[in-house]
Structure 1
């Protein structure tokens, strides 16, 4: 796996997850040449990396919160940004029934952070720890 090739442990500990986040923010690359109509676009390889990282984080999330699962998201509101994407789903907000509109698009989150880095936008503290931030939110919503 890409992470192992770069000397990163692929573990489910918070420390390991933050190391992966730091590695991503330091190494993500934009499309060359950049497109004026799509500023911040990642290189094709880095979209693949986001798929891998989102899947890794989703699997950790499911391991920590056994009541959630991967799902192809098709809610009744097709305007939701996660519509027709693989998401971690099944959050109840402490109730007995699943909230139909609450899903984590972890691949999309990774892409968004990568785009911010490529554009040179300042990262908030939660952006610098986006993988752990997503896990904390998920645990709160479970």
Structure 2
């Protein structure tokens, strides 16, 4: 008698964890933002990911958390969804308000430094999905051109 085999449909595959680590992410942010220390890059990354976690919802939020290193995923998952989506400008202003000594210009730098480090971890399809769910203007923060109005 042979042992029964399970159909691939009955055995869920464990979610794929990203190859990148938290250290890889922080290094990418540090390089993108030209931060003098790892501590500064990590502080900025935590602030921006926490804000982003409240604005990405639904399946995209789950996919975002699954695509990021564990520490980043926990930051995203711990956020309560925002009551309303913020425009890109409002998002940057919210980062300025959360960051001691920040100006709108330094907050935009911080946001762009973190968000532009995410596409290599997330892949084009997930970034496209996230950008479709966010108000217009976020593409620039992710390091992409936004050439036209959305349909």
Per the normalisation by structure 1, the TM-score is: 0.26
Higher helix share: 2
Bigger Rg, structure 1 or 2 = 2
State the TM-score, normalizing by the size of structure 2: 0.25
